[in-house]
Amino acid sequence: MPEITILKRPREEAVITQRMFFKKTARGKVIKVLRERYLRDDISCGVDGCRVCDASAQTVLSRSGDTTHKNFPTGHYILPDTNVFLAQMDLIESNYFTPPIIILQTVMEEVRHRSLPLYSRLKALTTTDELKVWVFYNEFRSETAIVRENDETPNDRNDRGIRKAAEWYNAHLKLAHPPIRGQPNLAPPKVVLITDDFANRQKADKEKIPCISVRNYVDGMKNSDQLLDLLSATGSDEVEPTRAVAGRTALYADYLPMSTLLAGVKAGQLHQGHFNANQYNYLEGTVPVPAFTKPVLLVGRENMNRAVQGDVVVVEVFDEREWKAPTDEVIDQEATLKNDDAEDSEEEGDDLMVHEHESKALRAEHTKKAPTEKQPTGRVVGIIKRNWRAYVCHIDSTSLTSSNATSLGLQTVFATPVSRLLPRIRLRTRQAPSLVGNKILVTIDRWEITSRYPEGHFVRTLGKAESKEAEQESLLLEFEVPYRPFGKAILDCLPPEGEQWVVPPKSAAIPEWRDRTDLRDLIICSIDPPGCQDIDDALHARRLTNGNIEAGVHIADVSHFVHPETAMDSEAAARGSTVYLVDKRIDMLPALLGTNLCSLRPHVERLAFSVIWEMTVDAEIVDVRFTKSVIASKAAFEYGEAQLRKDDPNLNDKLTQSIRLLNSLAQKLKAKRMAAGALNLASPEVKIHLDSSESSDPVDVEQKALHETNSLVEEFMLLANTSVAEKTQGSFPQTSVLRRHLPPPPTNFEKLQDILQKRKGLKLDVSSSGALADSLDKCLDPKEPAFNTLVRIMATRCMLSAEYFSSGSVSRDTFGHYGLASPIYTHFTSPIRRYADVLVHRQLAAAIGYTPLHPSLHSKMHVERIMEVVNRRHRMAQMAGRASVEFYVGLALKGRNEREKEVTEDAFVIRTFRNGLGVFVSKLGLEGLVMFKRDTQFDAENYTISVPSSDIGQPDVTISVFDKVTVRIEVEKDKNTQRGRVKMTLVSPVDSRAL
């Protein structure tokens, strides 16, 4: 028996080995927390060939370090402090930045505390093969562990800990490189502390620790020209402000202290919400807040006070006498500020001119408005959380001071974001001439109170504007879609058999068959869109001997392959959703699962999760059961193919009978939903025809055709989701993953109701979903069949977005899905492409006793956190998909412009402005602006605009909302940004080119 020795720690060591702090609980109680830390002396330094550390320890850093820096010719490693990672992550992630990096445990923990997104990027750095990165656990090494001193702030304590680790490393490397007799006495490599904190550098110099600022370090690198542009101005005490910022009077009010903001929100004197910019008028924004039915209106850049799209802001609401109505004019940022100087070298004159121009536009807009149109108006007094990230931009070529392509001089230029919701960004770069005509990535660093524009730094070039590769990548970046390839740790979670994996032969001893129902003999088929490879769902129906009908929905059993707390599960949770673009798909799961092992292909045995109902012929549910199963689909149809099979009178095989039976039940299920008040809404959906399967060049655009079989699949998916929601919520009332659609505030429909009443004499009743559904059915124009679809599209835009939630987080009476008129709902039917469905599968498996529920899904806080990510990813995926369609519609139109003399299409007017029209081209699913430069007669109350007739001597032509017009569509290249944009002009009832 081995001898065991127990060592008691001396009492005096408790000061170092114990960490005590106070923590406030959710109920406000303050508790003392005491944590023990075990100090060691065998934590490796990570340097290859170190003679002091254990020879068997893992090493990453080369023995000599980096010898290419001019300040450290004998070799060095860098040890950045926390703020370097918080402010300069773009620099550190650059392929040109290659020195070996030591990341301290103290720094990792502080970054995690300050910014989870940056912490994720920092963790990714520690696993990359391109960089040599070593994480040193300084808090657990006896020589580098420190304790916080009396009257020392947490920040000062961390700075001291970082200096202590740097000092230890340099002393340690001297021991690791002892002089060797008969060989030159070479100096060991240095560990250099990188910090932009001047006080920290002073203390390091005093302690004889090698240290340097980020800018000075980059200046000494061999590829400094490429790296200097990546430097963020934030946190650097050496970056001079541009002349536009230095020595200027304040344009904005300072933000209130955070404590004042939080106290004001709690007291109800201030209001918190997300800032939303106005896409038609850059001088307006809104902030929805719970206290008012209408969002708070922000008018003018002073009242928006440096808020950027998506920021969580705090607003002060003005007295009701100062409330205003939203604008009726398109005010374009590029047109209004086209003569502004990026360096602002023309002193105060230009500033006053721009200010006067903006004030004049706002004064013209906010006069003579009806009191009913006015809404709460206020100003931003503080920022709770910035939404700043990397933005896709173009360099404004008119802002260059030198267009010489070989010039490496530092220039201040404007970067214009692709999104109209964002302000122009001031950028200091040495590469300005070579960046013109490219799509680039720019990050905002700061926005001073003396500057009209935020300041940022260049991150990288995406490629030439209008090239498909650059446009696709910029689209993914713009909507924050994770598109990196799946890493080794994720791929290692896949079955080792790879594509050779099959469902094993049936046996009670085999795990795959445990408690599974064998449904391989059932006549099951799938019905999907054309070209679908990730087949989530399949269906069956058959008559029973008692006269009832058995119908089943069978969903890919993704949770069999994706287990909790694995690298693949974490990646799927982070991605949240598969993103479908016109010519590619960004998968949530590796392709081996999504398009093969989990895809319910025909004539292949697959694991499934089945929901099976017994129904009467009138689609009344008699019984429902849930079971894990094994199926073998008999066919995979496209919607059109299934429709043809159903309608063919010459076919009467079991598969065709099953489809007809499913269709008969689906019609009855839909009739019941509609009778209960479900909404039949619409969204513009178009199909892009590509040149060939190998090519991604679009040749034409058409509206998507809808078949009965589309509705067949939809009804059974809705029924499965509802049935599963009832089951999981009954089993896990506190953490069930559900989906709800809250009723929209009646104020959301006020404008649409007023337009319908005044322009068409129609009434829209929004008292309930059923009343809305009935009144939408009555919104008809005998002369224009497409009018009803247009109204449904406009009504959809008045709705709130559906969202995932944890059942224990909201009151039971808010569970309902307004659009579906269902008291409870979830997503179960698409686990290959939605992470929420994976969680629902796990909960349903536990609810039927197949497997115990993972502890994380018992935690309400954990589920809420995941739902927050999934909701955001779901929204972004939808927006990215729509943007991809818009881009390809633009390419198709460009091709038509080249082939045809003139492209014209019918369109509906959906909005009137003082200086233009908003139109919707239903055939292309495209919305656009028709602008007028000449004066027009604008009637805001009746939603009409009168423009001069094209025919001399004829009276003015009046155009109103819902009018059908003909528009000329062109794709023109912006001379400044070099990007193509769709331009629309009227052809009839007037030719607007003369206006």
Place of tokens 């233009």: 916
H or E stretch covering 518: strand 517-518
CA distance 232 to 228: 9
Q: Are residues 494 and 511 in the same domain?
A: yes
- 675 within domain boundaries: yes
Q: Which amino acid is at 867?
A: M
Q: Are residues 381 and 394 in the same domain?
A: no
- 39 within domain boundaries: no
Q: Are residues 84 and 136 in the same domain?
A: yes
Which of 353, 385, 417 represents a domain boundary (last residue)?
385
Q: Are residues 190 and 90 in the same domain?
A: yes
CA distance 456 to 439: 16
Q: Are residues 574 and 653 in the same domain?
A: yes
Q: For the domain that residue 430 is a member of, what is the CATH number?
A: 2.40.50.700
pLDDT at 835: 97
Q: Which amino acid is at 643?
A: Q
State how beta strands 190-194 and 133-136 pair: unpaired
pLDDT at 582: 86
pLDDT surpasses 80 at 510: yes
pTM: 0.85
Which of 385, 400, 435 represents a domain boundary (last residue)?
385
Number of domains the chain contains: 5
Q: For the domain that residue 285 is a member of, what is the CATH number?
A: 2.40.50.690
pLDDT surpasses 80 at 186: no
- At 257, the pLDDT band (50, 70, 90 cuts) reads very high
- At 41, the pLDDT band (50, 70, 90 cuts) reads confident
DSSP 8-class letter at 693: S
pLDDT surpasses 50 at 720: yes
Q: How confident is the model over 206-216, as a mean pLDDT?
A: 94
Q: Are residues 187 and 264 in the same domain?
A: no
Where does 37-145 show beta strands of DSSP type E? 76-80, 101-104, 133-136
- 132 within domain boundaries: yes
Which has more pLDDT, 362 or 821?
821
pLDDT at 52: 86
Backbone angles phi and psi of 700, in degrees to 5: -160, 165
H or E stretch covering 181: none
Range of the domain at 277: 258-385
Q: Are residues 442 and 471 in the same domain?
A: yes
pLDDT surpasses 90 at 420: no
Q: Before 290, cis peptide (omega within 30)?
A: no
CA distance 24 to 12: 29
- Across 2-16, 742-756, 770-784, 933-947, least confident range: 2-16
Q: Are residues 667 and 649 in the same domain?
A: yes
Q: Are residues 152 and 291 in the same domain?
A: no
- At 991, the pLDDT band (50, 70, 90 cuts) reads confident
Q: Are residues 865 and 958 in the same domain?
A: no
Across the chain, mean pLDDT equals 87
Residues 6+ apart with CB under 8 A from 79: 101, 102, 104, 162, 165, 166, 169, 191, 192, 193, 194
pLDDT at 407: 62
Rg (CA), the chain: 32
Q: For the domain that residue 950 is a member of, what is the CATH number?
A: 2.40.50.140
Q: For the domain that residue 224 is a member of, what is the CATH number?
A: 3.40.50.1010
pLDDT at 981: 76
- At 346, the pLDDT band (50, 70, 90 cuts) reads very low
- 91 within domain boundaries: yes
pLDDT surpasses 70 at 693: no
207 closest CA partner among 158, 171, 157: 171
- 724 within domain boundaries: yes
- 37 within domain boundaries: no
Place of tokens 């939603």: 943
pLDDT at 58: 82
Q: Are residues 362 and 444 in the same domain?
A: no
Which has more pLDDT, 776 or 39?
776
pLDDT surpasses 60 at 352: no
Place of tokens 């070039």: 461
Q: How confident is the model over 416-433, as a mean pLDDT?
A: 89
H or E stretch covering 133: strand 133-136
Backbone angles phi and psi of 421, in degrees to 5: -85, -5
- At 249, the pLDDT band (50, 70, 90 cuts) reads confident
Which has more pLDDT, 40 or 107?
107
Residues 6+ apart with CB under 8 A from 264: 256, 270, 314, 316, 381
pLDDT surpasses 50 at 347: no
Residue 66: strand pairing partners: 76
- 53 within domain boundaries: no
Question: Is residue 661 within 8 Å of residue 523, measured between CB atoms?
Answer: no
Which has more pLDDT, 834 or 183?
834
pLDDT surpasses 50 at 112: yes
Residue 623, CA atoms < 13 Å, CB-side half-sphere: 6
Q: Are residues 528 and 665 in the same domain?
A: yes
Q: How confident is the model over 402-411, as a mean pLDDT?
A: 67
Where does 338-488 show beta strands of DSSP type E? 377-385, 390-395, 411-417, 425-429, 438-446, 455-464
384 CB neighbour count, 10 Å cutoff: 15
pLDDT at 494: 95
- 531 within domain boundaries: yes
pLDDT at 345: 39
